[in-house]
Structure formats: structure tokens, C-alpha cells
Structure 1
């Protein structure tokens, strides 16, 4: 995965915050990451027979959720103690043992038995970690910070997403962290970002990616509306990337310009899987999440919805690229946004070609069953006539206007130096370093 200035930026500086509310269906999870402030979350009621810790207090809920997320039960902890301490008497009921860590809950590190259930984040940093030098931060958000890192041995820039373990507990997001890493490890596609590595320190979880300095939103804010030839190229690249994810059973759920980075040749990289999840064929999701201006009507209603919701988001994105503005302004919450989406018609600019107008109408179709949603629909569409849907051919030439426009973007500021990756991230300045 390639991270740049578009990921996890403060919501006031970008196109809109990620929005999360509601719950998933049985056996699924509700994400609360991405960008911006998460909405309300409701925990499902305990069924009869569920294991419930007999301890009360404001900190106990976090431990209950953490132990539930990693699949640990009180019985398993009891067995673990007896295996590791055969000569020592058992400390007695679990309640006093857990009470002793109440003070250190927000300080961490957690007991080692908890770390054992996070195989996605090895306890020891990867080999060569000592060659990584933290230069400064790229972006800050409600669910983590992205740091700019130099690999001293290779001389290359990397991006490292840092998530405090305290927030993982407070936001009940252990499953989300594990799901995000699991998804990124599956991905190998020219237009979708993959994972460079992950590990954990005493206070934080870390994921590492390739680094690019420009995102599509910054380019759009500088250039304004794009030529239809550029919209055609970016539409084909995104269609290939989204279709690839859907073939793997992954629904992105936060497709927007801020989550699309531009590589050194000006081609796209779809990134930020903080709200993504696996959804099996025929499966349905119910969590209201994403960015309000890009959310499909079925998502705003609270579901059921599936992978087709991503194609609506693509329609909003392509509309903004071609018209230089969003079809509808964002509202304060999903209820108001649903009312606006339902009762306001999109006015496609008359300056757009017939093929592009048709494409936008077919993507921004309120009925998901009639929405443009398969890759072969794009390949046969009049707007993409003559376009080769082949990643190697699409990447053969650099995107000239992107390279030219990049020179007009804001100049980089001075970086902020840190001693290590487990530093105090709360002391970061308010504005990120854009390069």
C-alpha cells in the first residue's frame, strides 16, 4: 500500500470525514477507522450462556471486547497460567488478577498473552528496522498517524501508519485492525496498494507502505475539472482495481479522491482499507460507513448492501473530476444526506460528452440491481471505446498532465524529527508535511 498526504488527514482539510454508525450483521464487524470522527456504535446484547467477566468498572468493557476479539476465554487463561507456572499456586479467581492491571490499561504494554493473539503484528520489529529513520509526519486523523520514514540502506521513502494500542481498546477496533492487515496482504495489483509490513511496539501498532507524495484530491483541488481523456484513463484504472477487489470478495466502502494516490508516473493507487471488509458472494452488510458525499443510497439507509455500493462511489468521483464540483454537497449526517440524495436530481453538465453523461447516469443509479457493476460493462461502454483495459498497456506511458500539475502543488515544509517509532504522537504540530 502506498500512503501519501491523502490518508488520515484531518477532516477539515479534506473533502469530508469518514462516517461510521450502526452495526454489522451476525458475525461481522463495524469499522471505525479511516478519516474523521466515527459515529455511534451499538454492541449486540449478550446471549444466554455468553462468558461475561464478573468485574465492573469503566475499563472492564475494553478488556471484555479485547478478549472477545482475540478469541480468549477465562478458561483458556486459566490453562495458560497452569502450563507456564506448573510449580506455582494458581492466583485464585480471575477478578483480583485483572484488577491489578487497571492502572496500566492506558499505559501499556499489555500482558504478553494478549500480544500472542495478534499474529498480524509481530512483537519483534522486522529485520532491518534499525535502518528506518523517522523524518516527520504526513497526516493525522481520528484513528492513527502516518509518519514519513527514510530507509537509510536503500535511500527510499516509506510511510508508516501508527495506531496507539489505547485507541484500539477505546474504539473496540481490534477486529478492524486485523481485517485491514489481512486484506492488504491479499492484494497484488498495479492500481491497488498492498502491504509492506506490520509489527507492534510497546504502545503502538505499525503498518508500513510505499510512499507517494500526491493524492488525487490535491491534484483535483489544483487543476479543477479534468479533460475527458484523463477521466477515461483514471476511470479505467479504477474500474480494474475495484473489479479486482470484488473478485477477492472485498468491498472497499470508502472510495474517494483522498484515498487514491498518484505514483511517480502519475498513475493511480487505491489505498486506505480501514473501512473495508470481506463480503462473501451473496453476503450483505449493514454498517453505515464511508464518506457522506460518496455513500450510495442503500448504505445511507443502513443496508442491506453489497459490493455494488463501491460503483456508486466511483460515479461520484468521476462526476467531480469531470465537472470540477460534486453533484451534491455533504450534509451533517447520513439521514440528511439520504434525504438530499433521494430528492435531488444530479445535473450533468451539458459540456460533457454523451458517452460520459451516460456512464455517470448508469453509475449513479439509485437501484443497485440496475447500476453499472461489472468490469465487462466498462469494457463495452461507449465512453471507453478504444480503451485497452490492460494494466501494462495503461501504465506504459506517464500521465503528462499529472507530472506538470505536481509542480504547482504546495512546497514541502520542514520535517519534524523523532527518536523512535514509539514516540509521543500527541506532540505533533497541527499541519502535516506534504512531501
Structure 2
């Protein structure tokens, strides 16, 4: 939607609603003399004339059509059914309006920013390695002059980033993480750089990866899955209300803090697209990729709703619903749809209903992408009685409290040997000046 709509009813609509409406409208062509509306028919369809003229005796907006409408010459209409129209236009409070932070919270962030702006890389001592990724490793570090405080230091090799053309992703990750402040998203405090590496100083969450817990237990029950899914939903509410899509939801990117609460980590695929805008970058983990990404149709925050459905399935069953021998095979299985998947008996009826409604092929039909936004997911029967306020306040008991013996206990993570490789320095370039 690049220009203001010509339909008066739509001119006051926010851009994200207009974008969803544009996705849902179907083009229908009529020949001269064809009936578009028949007298006496039920008014279950909304028409927008995009080309041509109609013979319209008088207003026909009633529930039962009081006159027939016919095409005068060739006519093209954009058509939407009543239910879809109500879902999109019926209520514009999607539960994700911008949250304004209190002066007290802003003051806290400012003090925090002042503190971290005064520290340098040499103020930290490496304790051990917490994890290794494709482009980076994460070290547990100690602030030398305050031995009670630990952080996670993500170390990225500049040469590797340049060789794989990941500069844009890395800078986007930094930009997004510096602006998000949510208890359900890992904090990035500041960044450093030198000739060989980029460094991201992060909050240390020592409860371990959710993936490791799932691997050890095989699968989770409804209650456990609800808690972790609830944490993820709160993170997505925060991101989507700011026009940010996450695009890499999976158990490996969910980490537990020492109290057992879950947080999203790794924002390498996250993108600030703006409300209602789409993007066409192909990215994500194959088993979690939405069909519109595979088909290059453009995607928005509804791709995260799809991935949420995949996550619920994997947490409840131990493996994702779509999985092939290689990525192309997996994509073909995804395009067959969720209705072709046999659900294991351990997934209850209401959980299966939630998964299927999150994994609708048409993004505009997905739960979480309609008029009430993510609130529709929170109100689903599977979440009945769930203490959302307790989750937000951190007063709800988590299903699993990890054993963390102090700020330098890395026992909830796998063991990783030290990195012996000494990469070459970055050739003279200024792409990393933002760091």
C-alpha cells in the first residue's frame, strides 16, 4: 500500500491494517450484464470497484440486498467476505499499541547506559565459553573490578562476516538489540570492536538453552510448554508493536535465566520493517520457515506466528511437524500444509487447534495476525486460566528452576574447548563504524 486509499472508509485505517486488507482482497472479473449482487441475497461480501462501472439503482449495504447490481461493460472488483472484513476492520486495538515507559524506567536505562559507556574491553576477564554459533562464540566474562557481576560476551570474527557478506545482518542485530528493553529478550548493553573481532556485551542468562532441556526431557507437558510459549509471546508482542520481526524462532534461540524464565536470544535474522510493511529476504531455520517465505511472496510479522505454531508442536512432541532429509525436501513438506501432518496423541485437542490456527497457509487467517493481534493467541482456549499478569511481573512459578551456583556457574551449558584460531585482521574498511 504505497498511496492513500481512495475508498473513504479506509482512509483512516493504519498502514498495517491496510496491508493485511490488501493481502486478503481477491480480484474478480465480470462481463457486461453479469450480476454482481442479486436482489434478496444475503449481504456477506464487500466489493471495491477497481475497474469499470456498475448499474447501481440505490444503496445496497443492507444485510439483505434490496436491489440487483449488474456490470456495465467489463468490470473488475476486489472482493472480501464479511467475516474476513470484520476480523481486519472490526477492531483496530490489536493489543500492541506502543507502550510508553515511565520516567523511573527511562532514568534507570540512562544510568545503565552511562555506566556501560565508561567500560572498555580490557575491563573484562574471560571465564569460559557458553556457546558456539556459525559466526560467533559466546564467552562468560567477569568485570574485573566487580567480581559479583558476570556478562555474556558474543565474539564475532570480522573476516568471517565479510567472507559471508553478513555485514548487514550484524549491524541490524546491533541496532535492534540496543533499542529493545523487555524482560523476555536478552539485553545488549554495549558493543566493542578491534581489527579482528566485533564484541557484543550481553546479559548473562545461566539457566541454559531451552533446546538442551527439551533434548534431555524428550518433550514437555502442556503446562511447561504454556509457560515457555507465554514468554515467547510476550517477547513477540514487544517486537511486533515496534515493527520488528524476529524470524528465527526455535528452541536453540530461547535461553533460561537463573530463575527459570525464558528469553529470546540471537537477533541475527531480526529486521525492523515497520508496521504493516513486508520484506522479501529468504532466511530462517528450514523447519520453522513460513510458506510465504519459501514462495517469495513477501512476509511480515505473521511469519513469526507461523513459527510459534511450529515451536508449540516441537515443545509438546519433541520434534517439529515438518522435517525432511534436506532443506529443499523440508520446504516441499511445509508447502503441503499443516493438515497433512499427523499429530501425536500427546498433543491435546486444544493445543492442536492452536497450532493449526497459527499455521494457516494464508497469513491473514493466522491467529495473532487478525484484528486483536497477539491477544487472540492469549485468549485461545489452550491458554485458559493462564496467569499472564503473573508472567509479566515475574511472580509466576516457572516449571523448572535451573541450578545456578553463583554468577560464574556455566554447568547448564555444554563444554566447549577454547578457540585456537587466530583470524587475520579485517582489511581497511569502515563498515563496522556503527559498532
What TM-score, normalized to structure 1?
Answer: 0.63
**Counterpart position of 2:203:** 210
**Counterpart position of 1:355:** 350
Matched pairs, number: 297
After superposition, give the CA deviation of every residue in 1:112-161 in whole Å (9 maximum; x if it has no partner). xxxxxxxxxxxx98525433101233333332222221223332322111
Which structure has the highest strand share of the two? 2
Alignment of 1:271 onto 2:269: no
Q: Which residue of 157, 160, 167 maps to 1:167?
A: 160
Q: Give the CA RMSD over aligned residues.
A: 2.8
SS of 2:119 mapped into structure 1 = coil
Distance in 2 of aligned mates of 1:127 and 1:176: 26
Distance in 2 of aligned mates of 1:392 and 1:371: 24
Deviation at 1:174, TM superposition (A): 2.5
Distance in 1 of aligned mates of 2:204 and 2:184: 14
**Counterpart position of 2:335:** 342
Q: Counterparts in 2 of 1:161-240, with a 5 A limit?
A: 161-213=154-206, 214-240=208-234
Deviation at 1:166, TM superposition (A): 1.9
SS of 1:231 mapped into structure 2 = helix
Deviation at 1:249, TM superposition (A): 0.7
Where has structure 1 moved over 4 Å in runs of 4 or more? 391-394, 404-407, 409-418
Structure 1 residues 226, 405: CA separation in 2 closer, same or farther (over 3 Å shift)?
Answer: farther
Q: Counterparts in 2 of 1:32-111, with a 5 A limit?
A: none
SS of 1:199 mapped into structure 2 = strand
After superposition, give the CA deviation of every residue in 1:163-212 in whole Å (9 maximum; x if it has no partner). 22223332233222221111001111111122121011122111110122
Q: Counterparts in 2 of 1:270-419, with a 5 A limit?
A: 270-333=264-327, 335-343=328-336, 345-373=340-368, 374-390=373-389, 395-403=394-402, 413=415, 416=418
Structure 1 residues 363, 414: CA separation in 2 closer, same or farther (over 3 Å shift)?
Answer: closer
Structure 1 residues 393, 174: CA separation in 2 closer, same or farther (over 3 Å shift)?
Answer: closer
Structure 1 residues 242, 210: CA separation in 2 closer, same or farther (over 3 Å shift)?
Answer: same
Q: Is contact 1:147–1:159 with CA below 8 Å preserved after alignment?
A: yes
Q: Counterparts in 2 of 1:14-29, with a 5 A limit?
A: none
Greater shift, 238-247 or 384-393, is seen at 384-393
Deviation at 1:415, TM superposition (A): 6.8
Distance in 2 of aligned mates of 1:292 and 1:352: 22
Q: Is contact 1:388–1:394 with CA below 8 Å preserved after alignment?
A: no
Q: Is contact 2:131–2:416 with CA below 8 Å preserved after alignment?
A: no
After superposition, give the CA deviation of every residue in 1:316-337 in whole Å (9 maximum; x if it has no partner). 111011112221224423x432
Q: Is contact 2:129–2:415 with CA below 8 Å preserved after alignment?
A: no
**Counterpart position of 2:244:** 250
Distance in 2 of aligned mates of 1:411 and 1:282: 39
Q: Is contact 2:292–2:298 with CA below 8 Å preserved after alignment?
A: yes
Structure 1 residues 410, 127: CA separation in 2 closer, same or farther (over 3 Å shift)?
Answer: closer
Greater shift, 163-172 or 201-210, is seen at 163-172
Deviation at 1:411, TM superposition (A): 7.8
Distance in 2 of aligned mates of 1:163 and 1:328: 31
SS of 1:142 mapped into structure 2 = coil
Structure 1 residues 138, 360: CA separation in 2 closer, same or farther (over 3 Å shift)?
Answer: same
Structure 1 residues 404, 364: CA separation in 2 closer, same or farther (over 3 Å shift)?
Answer: farther
Structure 1 residues 383, 198: CA separation in 2 closer, same or farther (over 3 Å shift)?
Answer: same
Structure 1 residues 191, 391: CA separation in 2 closer, same or farther (over 3 Å shift)?
Answer: farther
After superposition, give the CA deviation of every residue in 1:3-32 in whole Å (9 maximum; x if it has no partner). xxxxxxxxxxxxxxxxxxxxxxxxxxxxxx
Q: Which residue of 132, 141, 163 maps to 2:133?
A: 141
What TM-score, normalized to structure 2?
Answer: 0.63
Q: Is contact 1:226–1:321 with CA below 8 Å preserved after alignment?
A: yes
After superposition, give the CA deviation of every residue in 1:35-67 in whole Å (9 maximum; x if it has no partner). xxxxxxxxxxxxxxxxxxxxxxxxxxxxxxxxx
Q: Is contact 2:130–2:139 with CA below 8 Å preserved after alignment?
A: yes
**Counterpart position of 1:157:** 150
Distance in 1 of aligned mates of 2:377 and 2:174: 30
| Structure having greater relative contact order (Cα 8 Å, sep ≥ 6) | 1
SS of 1:401 mapped into structure 2 = coil
SS of 2:300 mapped into structure 1 = coil
Gaps of 5+ in 2: 1-115, 425-435
Deviation at 1:389, TM superposition (A): 2.3
Q: Is contact 1:135–1:415 with CA below 8 Å preserved after alignment?
A: no
Gaps of 5+ in 1: 1-123, 427-435
